[in-house]
Copies of this chain bind each other. A is one copy, B any other.
Amino acid sequence: MPNIALDASHDASRRSWVPSANQASTDFPIQNLPYGIFRLAADDGTPRGGVAIGDHILDVSAVAPLLGEAQALGALLAAPTLQPLMSLSPGAWTALRLALSNLLSAGHGEHRRAEHHLHAMSSVEMFLPAKPGGFVDFFASIQHATNAGRTFRPDNPLLPNYKYVPIAYNGRTSTIGVGGEVRRPRGQTRSAGEDAPSFGPSRRLDFEAELGVFLGGHSVQGEPVPLARAWQHVFGFCLLNDWSARDIQAWEYQPLGPFLGKSFATTISPWVVTVDALRPFRVPVRARPDGDPAPLPYLADDEDQATGAVDIVLETRLATARMRQQGSEAVRLGRASTRELYWSVGQMVAHHTSNGCSIEAGDLYGSGTVSDDDESGLGSLLEISRAGARSLKLPSGEQRTFLEDGDEVTMTGRCIRDGFVPIGFGRCVGRILPALAG
């Protein structure tokens, strides 16, 4: 078991005075306490920060006076973004978590006063937890990199830099949202055998199941963050669907990488599960297979190897319009754990800042599509359909290679470990709207 300190907030016997938080099926027991930005649907007020507890949200800044020494920290959640909280350091994050855990614990004396500031999740509207200044999308699953590369280079799927460089590119921040509808993009594509491209709706629209990482604190331009200090800059995690138009991407991406094939939309889950909540689920980074090179020194750290991975099982489900009409359950497309990633989150931070690039509170990373070695563990339709060569059969009698209009993709994430209360990430949902008329 990794040497990660736990505290009373992780205690499996701790229960909340919010009844729904004590149900085994909830994603949000008192051991989780993820943050999000919400507004009462019936309310015109500014969005503000809340913490999820069972099927409710506690308005954190409203209960700040009940948080003792963490009062000033709680008051930061009056802002319409978590950035003021994210800009602090791990000590502050832990202090606020402990104060909220205590306030929400069964038997707390201020239970009645806090209850006034508890809102049913069904009554609120959720917003982006933070407006990222930068969005970096990694490519950290070697299985995904291999599967995706195989569609272009069957005999040599992995490029020579993969096992040395935590490959990444910069994504677009203006189109990151917390769910809802995603308009099918139009763009330039070129069909096989044609000389010239044409412009129209993407016909190879895909999802990518990723882990999102919100950074905290900041670093100074010109000064790398060493791997040993990388986790001080990790605030928390969310689910991330990196929608991809494979046909647009294939035509545009040489030589400068993905652009319009990705920038039309990125959907994240509205709840940010903190690093503290995930402490019980830290595991060793997956051992590199024999023959793989060791990471270069700036990416090597014994403690990171021992504790740098997180065991979050991501699942993606699909429900077509017809399936929803028929009342049939969404089908599972893939299920894989982020513990399988070739590169750790710490290595991502160390690499990203190794050239002196500065990071800022609210910066978002995507892990890259999370796929594992198993046929049931694929995180994109590109992989599931073998780049469109194989159709997925659905209970409605429909088939899919890529996404059709009306399809709804739902990601979930869950952490389970003996002796601990399971925690989850809520849902990351997006539904495909038809392209605009040309």
Contacts and interface: CB of A to CB of B under 8 A. Distances in A.
Secondary structure of the A contact surface, majority rule = loop
Interface string A128-158: 0001011011010000000001000000000
A169 B256 contact: yes
A436 B222 contact: yes
Contacts of A172: 134, 170, 357
B169 A265 contact: no
Interface in A225-277: 245, 248, 251-261, 263-265
A351 B436 contact: no
Interface residues of A, number: 67
A259 B169 contact: yes
A54 interface: no
Contacts of A136: 259
A287 interface: no
A355 B436 CA distance: 10
A182 to B, nearest CB: 8
Nearest to A218: B174
B257 A169 contact: yes
Contacts of A255: 149, 159, 167, 253, 257
B133 A221 contact: no
Interface of A: 131, 133-134, 136-137, 139, 149, 159, 161, 164-165, 167-175, 177, 183, 185-188, 190, 196-199, 221-224, 245, 248, 251-261, 263-265, 293, 296-298, 351-352, 354-360, 363, 433, 436
In the A-B complex, the 5 residue pairs with the closest CB atoms: A257-B257, A185-B355, A183-B222, A170-B170, A169-B256
